[in-house]
Structure 1
């Protein structure tokens, strides 16, 4: 992954999201050690403090946990928590934006549902 330095999204948030994606893809599994702030800094050519801030986000969300002197590890239910969070936050925001735009365009509920089905959202 290449970090987007032009993004409005801070680098440390991009680091946290990258780690979440790695957990979802099961490249990091439950109770497995993740990269240290220094490894992340080297991997992405960023300041270790920025990498640490990304790790801290995930610790605060209970996605990662610290083992004193050993590093950061993936929480047992991390993948489920990330998926739930993304469903609840990301998809809800996207659907809200979609519904608002549909209203502005005078698209009916039925037309919107048909469009969703047409775009591959049958299930």
Structure 2
């Protein structure tokens, strides 16, 4: 993990997104323990409350679960949830824009599909 303290993105969101990315890339497997709030705050000189705020976002999204007295673990099904979430974001952020631009350029659906196949 590394954090950009000069970024406009809050540190707690950076914590959440980096752990989420590690789950998505399977650096943290389902049911595997993730670094503790204390470890992250100590290693990266971040306030523990800030780290906890980021991790709590993942808990509320169902990606991480707290096991009292043991630690934080990647939740069962977390990878699938992230794939579903990212596919929807891909659709919203990329596909919708590509289709809109294709319409402005008067590219037919068939032509667009041909272009996508060529790019694939």
Query: How far, CA to CA, are the matches of 2:58 and 2:6 in structure 1?
Result: 23
Query: How is 1:39-58 mapped onto 2 (pairs within 5 angstroms)?
Result: 39-58=39-58
Aligned residues, how many? Answer: 119
Deviation at 1:54, TM superposition (A): 1.5
Deviations 1:3-58 (A, max 9, x none): 34565543322322221221122221121111122322344443322221211111
Deviation at 1:108, TM superposition (A): 2.2
* Backbone CA RMSD of aligned residues: 2.1
Aligned with 2:32: secondary structure?
coil
**TM-score normalised per structure 2:** 0.81
Deviation at 1:61, TM superposition (A): 0.9
Can you give the 5+ residue segments of structure 2 that lack an aligned partner in the other structure? none
Greater alpha carbon shift after TM alignment, 2-11 vs 104-113: 2-11
**TM-score normalised per structure 1:** 0.79
Query: How far, CA to CA, are the matches of 2:113 and 2:2 in structure 1?
Result: 36
Query: How far, CA to CA, are the matches of 1:62 and 1:86 in structure 2?
Result: 15
Can you give the 5+ residue segments of structure 1 that lack an aligned partner in the other structure? none
Q: Which residue of 2 aligns with 1:105?
A: 105
Change in Cα spacing, 1:46 to 1:114, as seen in structure 2 (3 Å) is: farther
